[in-house]
Amino acid sequence: MQFLGASVYGQSVQGVVVSEDKKGRFEPVPFANVYWMNSNFGTTTDSNGVFQLAIPEDASHLIASFVGYSSDTLLIEDLNSTITFRLKQSVSLEAVEIEARQSTTQMDFIHPLKMENMTERELFKAACCNLSESFETNPSVDVNFTDAVSGNRQIRMLGLDGPYTMISRENMPGIRGLGTSFGLTFIPGSWIESIQLTKGIGSVVNGYESIAGQINFELKKPEDQEYTFLNLFANQGGRLELNFLNNIHLSDKWSTMVLLHGNTRPYEQDMNSDGFRDFPLQDQVNLMNRWKYNSGKALRAQFGIHYLKDLKEGGQMDDELETGVNYPISGPYRLFISTEKIEGFAKVGIVFPGFKYRSMGLQISASKIEQESSYGFRDYDALEETFYANYIYQSIIGNTFHKFKTGLSFLYDHFDEELDQFNFQRIERVPGAFFEYSFEPSNNFTLVAGARYDEHNIFGGFFTPRLHLRYAIDEFTVARALAGSGQRTANPIAEQQSLLASSRTFNFLGTNSEYPYGLPMEKAWNFGFNITRSFTLDYREGYVSMDIYRTDFENQLVVDRDEGPDQVLFYNLDGKSYANNLQLELSYELIKFLEMRAAYRFAEVRTDYQSGLRQKPFTPKHRFFVNWAYSTRRNLKGGQWTFDLTTQWFGEQRIPTTEGNTLENSRGMSSPSFFLMNGQVSRYINHVWTVYSGVENILNYRQDDPIISADNPFGNQFDASMVWGPIFGRMVYVGVRMNLERQKDK
C-alpha cells in the first residue's frame, strides 16, 4: 500500500455519521465507512454512528459512505473540530441518469472480520421465499434438503451442519435449539433487509456458540422511509405466498412496522412416482410488529413481538390409498408437524451526553416454541422456553486507538422432549461475562482480542478466548487471521429430525448421566486465514480472495449411521474430528452490466466413527460455483431488465452403509457428481411494480429413488433421510412485487 505518510500518533479526528430522511429527522448510521481520500486510512462507525480516525500526512478530504446512501465528502480544515456527516438516501434525479452501481454482495475491506454483506438486491436474484433459500447465489453456504418427506432445507458452512453456525437476528439470538431444523423456513425472505455472513468464530459479545461462522440477518426497519410493500409468489410445486409490510412514522420519535407473511401448499404432487408427496401440504401464518423510539438525545429503544403458526402434512399420496394394500391400523404413512412460536424482544441504548465514545445497551428476548409431530408410528413432541439478556458497555482507553466492549449476559433454556416412550428434560442457566479489546494504532492494522467466562449450571464454568487480526498489505490487499474456541449444547433429536423419517432406532450412548443425553458440551477450536485483493481491469472492478479454515473438535456429538441401516448411534467423539476448508473466489464485471462471481471450494470433513476415520456423509469434497448477473440500464421511467443464472457442480458424496438391506433397497457407497442450474428474469416496470419469473433446477436433475423401501414405509428398511441431491426436479415460479413509498407531506 502506498500511504500518504505515517499517521500522527495520538492525534485523530472525531465525528458522527447520521442519515436524514425526507422529514428532516436524523438517525445515527452504524457501521458506515469513513476514510481519507486517496489513502487506505479508514474506519467504521460504532453502533451509535460515532467514529475516530487517525490523521495521515497531507490529509485534506474525508469521505463517509454506506449502502443505500449517497456518499458525502468534506474538506477538513480544522482537525480539532467535531465532524458531522449527513448522508441522504440515494435517489434518482429528474435530470440526471446515474450509471454507477454497487455490487449486490459487498466485501468489507475495513472490518477486522471478513464480512460479506448480502443486500436486498442480492436476495432478489432468486426465489428467496425464506432464509433457507437466501443463499442460492452465495458460494460460501451450502443449501440442501434434509429428507424426502418434510421438504425442509438446511444450510452448511465450512462443511459443518447448520447448528454449528450462529444465526442471529440483528445481533440477538435468532435460530437455535428446537428451531434449528425448521427455523430457517420461518424467516420470510421479503422481511430481510440484508444478511451479514462471517466465517469462523465471531465476537465474544454475541456469545459462546459460534463455531463455523455467524449469519446475522437484518429485518426491514420501522424508521425507514414510509412505504407499503406487497409480494405475491407462486411456483410449480403448488406453493402460494403473500408478503405484506407497512411502516408508519407516528411522530418524530416513534415509528412502527407490521410484517405479515402467509403461505400455503393446498395440493399434492409426486413427480418421481414413488407414492410419496414430494412436498408436504402446508399452511403458515407469520406476523411481526416492531416499534422504534428515538428521543433525539441519549435514549433509543426498539421492541416487538413475533408470532408463528406452521402446519405440515406429508407422506403417502391420497390417490395411493385405494390400491388394496393392507395398511396398519394407523392407515397410510403420514408425516405431521405442527409448530407454534411466540417471541418478544427489546433493545435499549443510551449514549452518554458529553462522552462521544461511551455508550451502553441492553438486549432482551423471550420465546416459546411448541412442536407436535408424527413420522408414521413415531411421535415427537417438544417444548422450548428461552430467555436471553445481554448488557453491553463500550468506550475507549485514552484515545480511539484503544477501544473496548464489556458486559454481562444470561441465558435460560428449558427443554422438554418426548420421543415415543422416552422423555428428555433439562433446564440450562448460563450467566456470563465478556471483555473485548480493539487495538488500531494505524489504519492498516487492527487487533481484536476477546474473552468470556460462562458458568453453566450443568456443565460448569468454561472460558472462551478469541482473536482476530487484520493487516492491509497495500492499497488493494487485506489479510486477516483468526483463532478461538466455541462450545454449544447438542440437541440430538431436535437437530436430527430428518432421521425420524426412517425405521432406524435411536441409540444414545452417552456415558454421563448428569448431562443431557449423557453427552458433554460440544467444543471446537477454529483457525482461519483469508486474503482479499481488489483490482481494476479495463475500467471495471473486481476482487479475488482465498479462505483457509480448520476446525478441530475436542468434544462433538457423533451421529453414526454406519453401524447398520436399521439404527443411528449418538455418542461423544472418541478420537479425531476436523474440517479443513479452502475456498478460492473471483468476482469481476466481465463487460458493462455483466457481473460474474465464481468460486471453488474444497472441504475435507472427517470424524472418527466406531468404524474408523471417515468423511462426513453427504458432504462433497469439491464444489464449483458461478453466478452471472446482467442488467440493462434503468431509464428515468423504469423499464429495467435483470437476468441471473447460477450454476453449481457438486462432487461425489459419501453415503452411509446400506449393507444388510435387500438388493433393491441397497445403495452405493457414494453419490454421483451433478450440476444444478437456477435462473431468473426480472422486469422493473417502474418505481412501484416489479415482476419476476424463474426456474430452479433447469437441467431437471433428480436423485433416483430418494426414499428407500417407499413401497413398505412401515418395514424395517424404510429410510427417507438418505438425500444427497434434488428431489422434485425442474421448478418454475412467478411473482410480483409492489413497493409504494409515501412521499413527505407538503
CA–CA gap between residue 57 and residue 43 (Å, rounded): 17
CA gyration radius, the chain: 26
8 A C-beta contact, residue 74 and residue 57: no
Structure pTM? 0.85
Beta bridge partners of 684: 640, 690
Q: How does residue 98 score in pLDDT terms, banded at 50, 70 and 90?
A: very low
Residue 132 backbone phi and psi in degrees, to 5: -65, -20
Residue 318 backbone phi and psi in degrees, to 5: -65, -40
Q: Which three cell numbers stand for residue 142?
A: 451450502
Distance set, CA 195 to CA 119, 121, 123 (Å): 7, 11, 9
CA–CA gap between residue 133 and residue 118 (Å, rounded): 13
Residue 93 has pLDDT above 80, yes or no: no
Residue 77 has pLDDT above 80, yes or no: no
Can you name the CATH fold of 107-741?
Maltoporin; Chain A (2.40.170)
476 three-class SS: coil
Q: Which percentage of the chain shows pLDDT scores above 90?
A: 64
Q: Which three cell numbers stand for residue 644?
A: 441471473
Element (DSSP H or E) covering residue 494? helix 492-495
Rounded to the nearest integer, the mean pLDDT of the chain is 88
CA angle, residues 526, 531, 533, in degrees to nearest 5: 160
Residue 379 backbone phi and psi in degrees, to 5: -110, 140
Query: Of 443-447, 450-454, 631-635, which range is least confident?
Result: 631-635
**The 3-state secondary structure of 372-387, one letter per residue:** EEEECCEEEEEEEEEE
Can you name the CATH fold of 12-91?
Immunoglobulin-like (2.60.40)
Query: Using CB atoms within 10 A of its CB, is residue 677 exposed (0-12), middle (13-18) or buried (19+)?
Result: middle
Report which listed range, 105-109, 579-583, 589-593, 709-713, is most confident. Answer: 579-583
Distance set, CA 460 to CA 386, 388, 431, 515 (Å): 19, 19, 11, 11
8 A C-beta contact, residue 279 and residue 237: yes
The reply to whether 12-91 and 107-741 are identical in fold is no
Q: How does residue 475 score in pLDDT terms, banded at 50, 70 and 90?
A: confident
**The 3-state secondary structure of 661-702, one letter per residue:** ECHHHCCCCECCCEEEEEEEEEEECCCCEEEEEEEECCCCCC
Enumerate helices (H) and strands (E) in the chain, giving the number of each: 2, 43
Nearest Cα residue to 148 out of 274, 326, 9, 240: 274
- What is the reported pLDDT for 57? 67
Cβ neighbour number for residue 577 with a 10 Å cutoff? 23
The beta-strand segments (E) located in 459-556 are 460-472, 477-488, 505-508, 522-537, 540-555
Look up residue 256 and give its DSSP letter.
E
Element (DSSP H or E) covering residue 241? strand 240-249
CA–CA gap between residue 510 and residue 521 (Å, rounded): 12
Distance set, CA 69 to CA 85, 90, 335, 674 (Å): 12, 5, 48, 42
pLDDT digits (tens, 9 = 90+) for 561-581: 999 999 999 999 999 999 999
233 three-class SS: strand
498 three-class SS: helix
Residue 179 backbone phi and psi in degrees, to 5: -80, -5
17-50 core/surface letters (b: 16 or more CB in 10 A; e: else): bbbebbeebbbbbebbbbbbeebbbbbbbbbbbb
Q: Which residues, 6 or more positions from 280, have their beta carbon under 8 angstroms from its beta carbon? A: 149, 150, 151, 265, 312, 313, 314, 315, 335, 337
Q: Which amino acid is at 214?
A: Q
94-125 core/surface letters (b: 16 or more CB in 10 A; e: else): eeeeeeeeebbbebbbbbbbbbbbbbbbbbbb
* Mean pLDDT value of segment 59-68: 81
Query: Of 348-352, 522-526, 548-552, which range is least confident?
Result: 348-352
Distance set, CA 192 to CA 162, 235, 529, 635, 651 (Å): 19, 21, 29, 27, 31
44 three-class SS: strand
CA–CA gap between residue 732 and residue 265 (Å, rounded): 15
Residue 423 has pLDDT above 70, yes or no: yes
Q: Which amino acid is at 15?
A: G
pLDDT digits (tens, 9 = 90+) for 1-21: 223 333 343 467 778 888 876
Q: Is the dihedral of CA 390, 369, 162, 698 positive or negative?
A: negative
Domain boundaries, the chain: 12-91, 107-741
Residue 325 has pLDDT above 50, yes or no: no
Residue 185 has pLDDT above 70, yes or no: yes
Q: How does residue 392 score in pLDDT terms, banded at 50, 70 and 90?
A: very high
CA–CA gap between residue 34 and residue 52 (Å, rounded): 9
Q: How does residue 395 score in pLDDT terms, banded at 50, 70 and 90?
A: very high
8 A C-beta contact, residue 543 and residue 587: yes
- What is the reported pLDDT for 90? 59
Residue 630 has pLDDT above 70, yes or no: yes
CA–CA gap between residue 489 and residue 171 (Å, rounded): 20
8 A C-beta contact, residue 394 and residue 359: yes
Query: Of 132-146, 303-317, 666-680, which range is least confident?
Result: 132-146
Q: Which residue has the higher pLDDT, 485 or 1?
A: 485
